[in-house]
Chains A and B, each alone.
Chain A
């Protein structure tokens, strides 16, 4: 059974600092890994999706990497800003019995990021 964990649960950094958020998964047979951002009381905003064949994906100040063999993904945020404060979640799709991907996402518990001005 796939399990996804995120460490740390909370992180506070000063503005301008580069930071790394971690995501671990127990079953390396994944189709992709998606990173989301959630502002308090709001829905999830998709940040990046890394396919299993990819090593990394970049969008602006965000860079996500994927190492399937070690069951890890990292989200790198460069030059953090107060507006980056939010909860960051990673998720992988559950697999069908025969191995195909489903749309059922298994989420980590999230990292609450606070960027201090």
Chain B
């Protein structure tokens, strides 16, 4: 099976712009989660989508949003970019049986730089 893919791999934007990142999960996985990784804060959970519905949300401002399509592909959007949004954005997919046995598989990440 192909792994989790993320596009684009690198992005450079300026403050105030918006950006959309894409994630394609492993075939058959219906859960997609997004994380932000920065040197200062480590890995922080943004949100999770399951069957096109947001199921969990982290403590990020409303400028961060996402959605999931019927084929389980997910996008996240960041509006009005700030310098502090520069980070590696990772998505993870799992089958999520809900019994705690699910391994989460991560994509290679999108490196966002905000100038």
Measured CB to CB, the residues of A under 8 A from B are: 31-32, 34, 36, 41-46, 49, 51-52, 89, 91, 93-94, 100-107, 109-110
B106 touching A36, Cβ below 8 Å: yes
Q: Decide: A104 near B48, CB < 8 A? Known: A44-B90, A45-B106, A46-B106.
A: yes
Q: Decide: A51 near B109, CB < 8 A? Known: A43-B90, A103-B94.
A: no
Measured CB to CB, the residues of B under 8 A from A are: 4, 6, 31, 33, 35, 42-43, 45, 48, 50, 55-56, 58, 88, 90, 92, 94, 96, 98-109, 111
B42 touching A107, Cβ below 8 Å: yes
Q: Which 7 A-B pairs have the closest CB atoms?
A: A31-B100, A44-B106, A107-B43, A43-B108, A101-B100, A43-B106, A104-B45
Instruction: Tell me the minimal C-beta distance from B10 to chain A in angstroms.
Output: 10
A104 touching B111, Cβ below 8 Å: no
A104 touching B33, Cβ below 8 Å: yes
Q: Decide: A41 near B111, CB < 8 A? Known: A105-B45, A107-B43, A109-B42.
A: yes
Instruction: Tell me the minimal C-beta distance from A69 to chain B in angstroms.
Output: 18
List 8 other contacts, CB 8 Å, given A46-B103, A103-B92, A105-B92: A42-B108, A49-B101, A91-B43, A101-B98, A102-B48, A103-B33, A105-B35, A105-B43
